[in-house]
Amino acid sequence: MSKTVIVYSFNSIKSKKVAEKIIQAFGKDKITAVNAEEITTEVFKNNDNFILSTPTWFDGELPNYWDEFIPDLEDMDLKNKTFAVFGLGDQKGYPENFCDAIGILVEILESCGATIIGKVNNDNYTFESSRALRDGKFLGLPLDQENQARLTQSRVEKWVKQLKKEMK
């Protein structure tokens, strides 16, 4: 049976809250939670499906915990593994870099041969630019707890349904 993990920072507040909603929607017994701040290449080697959390920090950058792991990640062969990325961002506060980190992480995963799932339409977001957008579609699920917290639950439920269809 294929193995699924969700990786997020256990020390974050907003991302953790959203990750818990995803776990709930996915089914607690069907997914294993891993702390992004203690991520190792073994986690990537030993599992098949991945849901990765990356909020955007520092005006369009990855948070430190992902940044530190990127050199190890770049050397990995991720063929035959599926990855879905969700990311918290603030479309009013950072309209020029809205959820850029989703795009940064997906580009690296793609360069390792990973299959990216969980792309969504650009519906009901207002911003100027985002590295997470490609051909009008988001490369993962953007969530905005600052401005659109009320939409998060329904966005998560819809996305998890989509992931279940797209996962191996």
Binding-site ranges for ligand FMN (CB under 6 A): 12-15, 55-60, 88-90, 94, 97-100, 145-146
Which residues face 142 on adjacent strands?
A: 87
Give the gyration radius of the chain's Cα atoms.
14
Closer by beta carbon to ligand FMN, 101 or else 117: 101
Rounded least distance, CB 131 to ligand FMN, Å: 10
- Give the residue at shortest CB distance from ligand FMN: 89
Rounded least distance, CB 61 to ligand FMN, Å: 7
Please tell me the distance from the alpha carbon of residue 26 to that of residue 19, in angstroms, as a whole number. 10
Closer by beta carbon to ligand FMN, 81 or else 131: 131
Q: Closest by alpha carbon to 112, among 85, 135, 140, 82?
A: 82
CB atoms within 10 A of CB 135: 6
Rounded least distance, CB 137 to ligand FMN, Å: 17
Closer by beta carbon to ligand FMN, 46 or else 153: 153
Kindly report the length of the chain. 168
Which residues face 51 on adjacent strands?
A: 6, 84
